[in-house]
Amino acid sequence: MSDPVLRIENLRIALPEGADRDYAVDDVSFELNAGEILCIVGESGSGKSMSANAMMGLLPDLVRPVGGSILFDGVDLLTLSEAQLLDLRGRRIAMIFQEPMSALNPLMRVEDQIAEVFEAHNLLTAKERSARAIALLTEVGIPDPEKAARAYPFQLSGGQRQRVMIAMALALEPEILIADEPTTALDVTTQAQILELIRNLQEKHGMAVMFITHDFGVVAEIADRVAVMQYGRIVETGSADAVLDDPQHDYTRKLIAAIPKLATDREQDAIGRQKVLEVEGLSKTYVTGGGLFGGNKRVVKAVQNVSLTLAEGETLGIVGESGSGKSSVGRCLVRLMAPDAGTVRLAGQDMAKLSGRALREARKSIQMIFQDPYASLNPRSKVGRIIAEGPMAHGVPKAEAYARAVELLELVDLDALSIDRYPHEFSGGQRQRIGIARALALEPRVIIADEAVSALDVSIQAQVLDLLAELKEKLNLALIFITHDLRVAAQICDRIAVMQMGEVVEMGPARAIFENPQNAYTRTLIEAIPGREKELAAAG
């Protein structure tokens, strides 16, 4: 390897007073070599993005570096003035962000946004700029680049928008590319394509790439070297193979162990068990637009003719990419949304036809766990109230409902004293436990978990999954687990239904789906799981 292009030495970034720790980044040193991809891995709050933002001079107002240096080309970036940084940004160090929709200006055509990069550095004439824009779009593999250049960001898909971001970052051929969780917001198949693109471009241009991610699967796909961060410190660095196969630090080991394994050893034994939920021909169509002057209506068939059964004590996974209709199915089942057609038979009653009082009664036996641990608990209610509210609405006396809330909190491994605290005093994982306790309060027979672990860090995710499996066993629950993450599905589900564009394209025992997928789309999904090849190789 050649000399490092960038060297960070003992970098220390102070957080404002009253934060949970003194330093966002504490005594961090690493090197970035030309022509390599360095992955910075860590859970949320580990300080991985802060170090990248410090390089670009993009730290938030109250956060400032207090020690160390970031040496780039013999100059300490921390000492540069704003004007000097302006010249550097984009031209020599470029960055791509997590959310391509909010990183692009929604009111500007794609080619103008790319041209703006040249304009900012006073390069090229207008004509050359637009020619370069199209050349760049071609390079990042956007289909029909001339047309895409004239498009607005909302007319492109998430993956295409991220390609535009990459094209902008590449425009001035920077020496360093910083990618901050660039594939986190993307579907798994798109993610695989973007990772491949970054890898190819990096090789072609000989750039150094600093890739920030929380996902070890992504690390396995793309990294040359890895630095693992925890609480603002680097706990382990090394080559990708060394860190992934033979982690030295306890924290790295813990993180790697927490990744759900793809192999599933579950045997289906639901045959002969009683069915608790039978869904037949469920359909839901959204119609938007139209209106008074009869404009074009937009019709989205979110759920088309979906039929499922769920046996007692069974876990059914519904997997699919965004827009596949998997969440709509869940919402139709609990009637947060009224289906257009079909029956939802729950313990002999058709949920789809009930209303008013009868619906409230029937819902006691089908409850939901939500995705966002921050939005699913009322910030102005105490935890006890949140859990006891359901039973109280069904006529359980207050004292009894609160006593039950305490039992439930203990059941989900939370302290009984939690009932007098507010949700904001808890971490994401703890909040999700509260959400689970709330769902259990009405003693349901079926629980629908809609992306229940997607917002959690991988180690917390593993704990919550274990808790769910344990509760399911203990309380003989049937679980419908809606997720975009096939790894999670492999870990927890007995059977899996794969959805694409509102339809179930394949359904069967989890093992059969993973080992012998019949449908082409299922195969694409499984092949796109990051880190899969490495895992297969390791398994022999």
Interface contacts to other proteins, rule CB under 8 A: 61, 334, 336, 360-361, 363-364, 367-368, 370-372, 375-381, 386, 389-390, 393-394, 435, 438-439, 441-442
CA distance linking residue 487 with residue 26, whole number of Å? 33
Q: How far is the CB of 329 from other proteins (least distance, A)?
A: 15
Q: How far is the CB of 162 from other proteins (least distance, A)?
A: 27
Q: How far is the CB of 506 from other proteins (least distance, A)?
A: 29
Complex with other proteins: residue 409 or 441, whichever CB lies closer: 441
Q: How far is the CB of 350 from other proteins (least distance, A)?
A: 18
Complex with other proteins: residue 315 or 432, whichever CB lies closer: 432
Complex with other proteins: residue 257 or 375, whichever CB lies closer: 375
CA distance linking residue 105 with residue 103, whole number of Å? 7
Q: How far is the CB of 528 from other proteins (least distance, A)?
A: 28
Q: Which H or E run includes 450? A: strand 446-450
- Provide the phi-psi class of 381: left if phi over 0, else alpha when psi is between -120 and 50, else beta: beta
Complex with other proteins: residue 1 or 58, whichever CB lies closer: 58
Q: How far is the CB of 195 from other proteins (least distance, A)?
A: 31
Complex with other proteins: residue 443 or 533, whichever CB lies closer: 443
CA distance linking residue 438 with residue 416, whole number of Å? 14
Q: Are strands 64-72 and 297-311 parallel, antiparallel or unpaired?
A: unpaired
CA distance linking residue 480 with residue 328, whole number of Å? 13
Complex with other proteins: residue 104 or 352, whichever CB lies closer: 352
Q: How far is the CB of 209 from other proteins (least distance, A)?
A: 32
Q: How far is the CB of 371 from other proteins (least distance, A)?
A: 7
Give the burial class of 269: count Cβ atoms within 10 A of its Cβ; 0-12 exposed, 13-18 middle, 19 or more buried. exposed
Where do runs of H (alpha helix) occur along 188-280?
188-205, 216-222, 240-245, 250-258
**How many Cβ atoms are within 10 Å of 271's Cβ, its own excluded?**
6
Complex with other proteins: residue 441 or 504, whichever CB lies closer: 441
Complex with other proteins: residue 324 or 367, whichever CB lies closer: 367
Residues 248, 285: contact at Cβ < 8 Å?
A: no
Q: Are strands 225-230 and 233-239 parallel, antiparallel or unpaired?
A: antiparallel
Terminal C-alpha separation, the chain:
31
Complex with other proteins: residue 343 or 381, whichever CB lies closer: 381
Q: How far is the CB of 313 from other proteins (least distance, A)?
A: 22
- Laid out side by side, the sheet with 208-213 consists of 93-96, 176-180, 208-213, 37-42, 225-230, 233-239
The token pair at 62 is: 């109250």
Q: How far is the CB of 55 from other proteins (least distance, A)?
A: 22
Q: Which H or E run includes 134? A: helix 126-139
> Torsion angle of alpha carbons 207, 211, 216, 221, nearest 10°?
-30
Complex with other proteins: residue 253 or 353, whichever CB lies closer: 353
